[in-house]
């Protein structure tokens, strides 16, 4: 079994060189996912000088680890949005998301992007009548916004269902192939792309200054396209960070179903789709098992749970891939897209939940319009400074009770072990040494990797992620390698290294 996303394994590695000099551009974009590269393409095409600075490789963030589904519906459901927003707002959400899918489709056709884009139906399935009412309400909500919705009692799946809500004319693609092609097109339009170039600090001003290891970029405008914006911002207390798990399996018999399937299970849903790789192999993908980042002790069990779930429903031959990724849920159900520092022209795009291939595209459309001075009918709707405490209250309280509890863990004598000898090879544990918490990992060869356990974002204590072998912050989702390097999330500074050899 490969521990990598099917999309990443099936794509060629991109080869943009790291930044090695100082430069000045109109617009610096931090992050080469679907948000950053769509904006880069739009702005470079409009004649702006643009540089994309990507810490890893293009698509190596969440974009290349997603499901590749494009739909106007939202993870939270239109029905739930109806409790917080009026009809006009929900119509605008559906229209803007439909426009973003249309934008992707047009680009795929215009540039002949080979990314397996197809219009497909989206289905929400209840396997027992327990969830039929949810489906019926969502069906009405879909009709209200003019989607081509139907209620069925059958679906092209090899097991019995109670009801299916079907929405026609949604879409699927291979997100990694799309993003790589988009990067090539942005470069053709004059955009500079630098991979393996983490931005280490952003000084906002006129101009903005972005520091990297081997070069400094000055820019009159900055787009934070890093999924969760870097640094300490108000928006972080409005976001809940969640990890989700995926496996790709082959079947012994039976058809690989076409389209997007969300199967309701308690409060969440499992997402199922098929994909044929470039070498002609068929796979069935299943994603689910969400939990708050840094909140699950044994998270490897999530893959086993996914496998059991899919084996109970399909004739599975082998599990070929597994991976995980994270998303950020917004407090009021809508993402935060637009300027956060009007004076310095700094923009953010976050809070996409698991709907961000569409929202990321929409964010790029909105931000590039704002930068180019074009009217955009949806910019107010998603404005990051729109904060409405009433609409956000439920999730805000829930997420911040978690954050408060995690701060409380930073009291003395709460370490997991007292001695290094209690940490087995492959394990990570928190240990307290002279009043300071260390995060200590023992690798398979027995060597210890010691870093500070205090998250460099807002000082919560990081927890061990045994599936990814990383230190994950339970407060706002920053993640770090065993040697302290930032992987993702709002933190921008690495966990400082520590060394104590007396604690055996």
Q: What residue ranges bind ligand FAD (CB under 6 A)?
A: 30-36, 53-56, 60-63, 66-69, 198-199, 225-227, 230, 244, 246, 287, 325-327, 349, 352, 354-358, 360, 488, 492
> What would you report as the CA-atom Rg of the chain, rounded to the nearest whole angstrom?
22
User: Looking at beta carbons only, is 66 or 465 nearer to ligand FAD?
Assistant: 66
What is the C-alpha separation between 210 and 190, in angstroms, rounded? 20
User: Looking at beta carbons only, is 51 or 165 nearer to ligand FAD?
Assistant: 51
Instruction: Assess 125 for contact with ligand FES (CB under 6 A).
Output: no
What is the C-alpha separation between 263 and 248, in angstroms, rounded? 17
What is the C-alpha separation between 194 and 144, in angstroms, rounded? 45
What is the C-alpha separation between 235 and 490, in angstroms, rounded? 10
473 in Cβ contact with 455 (< 8 Å):
yes
What does 287 interact with, of ligand FAD, ligand FES, none (CB < 5 to 8 A by kind)? ligand FAD
User: Looking at beta carbons only, is 14 or 69 nearer to ligand FAD?
Assistant: 69
What does 478 interact with, of ligand FES, ligand FAD, none (CB < 5 to 8 A by kind)? ligand FES
Which DSSP string do the residues of 356-403 spell out, in sequence order? HHHHHHHHHHHHHHHHHT---TTTTTT-TT---HHHHHHHHHHHHHHH
User: Looking at beta carbons only, is 133 or 459 nearer to ligand FES?
Assistant: 459
C-alpha closest to that of 283 among 312, 245, 246: 246
Reading the block at residue 365, the tokens are 């459309």
Q: How far is the CB of 43 from ligand FAD (least distance, A)?
A: 15
- Segment contacting ligand FES by CB under 6 A, of 29-37, 126-134, 425-433, 489-497: 489-497
Instruction: Assess 329 for contact with ligand FES (CB under 6 A).
Output: no
238 in Cβ contact with 392 (< 8 Å):
yes
What does 490 interact with, of ligand FAD, ligand FES, none (CB < 5 to 8 A by kind)? ligand FES
54 in Cβ contact with 31 (< 8 Å):
yes
Span between the terminal Cα atoms of the chain, in Å: 36
Reading the block at residue 255, the tokens are 């058809």
In eight-state DSSP terms, residue 419 is: S
What is the C-alpha separation between 488 and 76, in angstroms, rounded? 24
What is the C-alpha separation between 463 and 484, in angstroms, rounded? 12
User: Looking at beta carbons only, is 191 or 431 nearer to ligand FAD?
Assistant: 191
- Segment contacting ligand FES by CB under 6 A, of 130-138, 147-155, 204-212, 469-477: 469-477
User: Looking at beta carbons only, is 233 or 442 nearer to ligand FES?
Assistant: 233
Per CB under 6 A, the list member of 458, 493, 498, 503 interacting with ligand FES is 458
Per CB under 6 A, the list member of 359, 467, 489, 492 interacting with ligand FES is 489
Binding residues for ligand FES, how many (CB under 6 A)? 13
User: Looking at beta carbons only, is 131 or 352 nearer to ligand FAD?
Assistant: 352
What does 165 interact with, of ligand FES, ligand FAD, none (CB < 5 to 8 A by kind)? none
CB neighbours of 379 closer than 8 A, spacing ≥ 6?
337, 338, 366, 369, 370
The phi, psi pair for 279, rounded to 5°, reads: -95, 10
User: Looking at beta carbons only, is 166 or 479 nearer to ligand FAD?
Assistant: 479
User: Looking at beta carbons only, is 159 or 404 nearer to ligand FES?
Assistant: 404
Q: How far is the CB of 404 from ligand FES (least distance, A)?
A: 12
Q: How far is the CB of 452 from ligand FES (least distance, A)?
A: 12
What does 198 interact with, of ligand FAD, ligand FES, none (CB < 5 to 8 A by kind)? ligand FAD
What does 356 interact with, of ligand FES, ligand FAD, none (CB < 5 to 8 A by kind)? ligand FAD
What does 476 interact with, of ligand FES, ligand FAD, none (CB < 5 to 8 A by kind)? ligand FES
Q: Specify burial of residue 447 (Cβ count, 10 A radius: 0-12, 13-18, 19+).
A: exposed
Binding-site ranges for ligand FES (CB under 6 A): 455, 457-460, 473, 475-478, 489-491
């Amino acid at each position: 079994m490969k521990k990598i996303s099917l999309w990443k394994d099936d794509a060629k590695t991109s080869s943009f060189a790291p930044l090695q000099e100082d430069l000045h551009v109109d617009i610096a974009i931090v992050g080469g996912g679907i948000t950053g590269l769509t904006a880069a393409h739009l702005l470079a095409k409009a004649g702006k000088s643009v540089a994309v600075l990507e810490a890893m490789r293009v698509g190596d963030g969440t974009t290349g680890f997603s499901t590749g589904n494009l739909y106007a519906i939202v993870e939270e459901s239109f029905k739930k949005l109806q409790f917080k927003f009026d009809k006009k707002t929900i119509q605008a959400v559906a229209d803007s998301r439909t426009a973003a899918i249309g934008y992707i489709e047009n680009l795929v056709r215009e540039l002949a992007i080979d990314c397996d884009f197809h219009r497909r139906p989206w289905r929400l399935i209840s396997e027992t009548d327990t969830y039929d009412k949810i489906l019926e309400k969502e069906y009405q909500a879909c009709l209200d916004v003019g989607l081509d919705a139907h209620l069925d009692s059958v679906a092209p799946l090899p097991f019995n269902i109670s009801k299916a809500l079907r929405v026609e004319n949604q879409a699927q693609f291979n997100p990694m192939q799309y993003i790589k092609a988009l990067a090539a097109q942005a470069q053709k339009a004059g955009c500079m792309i630098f991979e393996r170039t983490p931005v280490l600090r952003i000084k906002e001003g006129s101009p903005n200054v972005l520091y990297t290891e081997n070069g400094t970029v000055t820019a009159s405008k900055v787009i934070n396209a890093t999924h969760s914006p870097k640094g300490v911002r108000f928006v972080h207390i409005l976001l809940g960070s969640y990890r989700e798990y995926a496996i790709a399996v082959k079947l012994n018999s039976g058809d690989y179903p076409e389209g997007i399937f969300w199967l309701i299970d308690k409060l969440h849903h499992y997402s199922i789709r098929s994909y044929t790789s470039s070498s002609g192999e068929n796979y069935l993908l299943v994603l689910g098992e969400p939990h708050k980042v840094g909140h699950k002790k044994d998270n490897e069990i999530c893959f086993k749970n996914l496998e059991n779930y899919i084996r109970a429903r399909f004739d599975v031959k082998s599990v070929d891939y597994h991976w995980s990724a994270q998303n950020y849920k917004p407090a009021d159900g809508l993402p935060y897209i637009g300027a956060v520092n009007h004076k310095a022209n700094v923009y953010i795009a976050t809070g996409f939940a698991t709907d961000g291939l569409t929202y990321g595209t929409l964010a790029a459309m909105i931000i590039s319009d704002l930068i180019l001075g074009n009217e955009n009918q949806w910019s107010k709707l998603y404005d990051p400074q729109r904060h409405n405490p009433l609409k956000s209250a439920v999730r805000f309280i829930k997420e911040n009770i978690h954050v408060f509890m995690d701060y409380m863990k930073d009291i003395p004598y709460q370490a997991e072990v007292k001695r290094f000898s209690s940490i087995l090879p492959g394990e990570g544990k928190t240990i307290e040494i002279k009043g300071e918490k260390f995060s200590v990992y023992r690798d398979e060869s027995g060597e210890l990797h010691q870093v500070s356990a205090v998250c460099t974002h807002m000082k919560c204590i990081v927890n061990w992620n045994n599936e990814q072998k990383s230190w994950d912050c339970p407060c706002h989702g920053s993640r770090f390698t065993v040697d302290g390097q930032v992987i993702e999330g709002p933190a921008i500074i690495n966990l400082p290294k520590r060394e104590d050899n007396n604690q055996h």
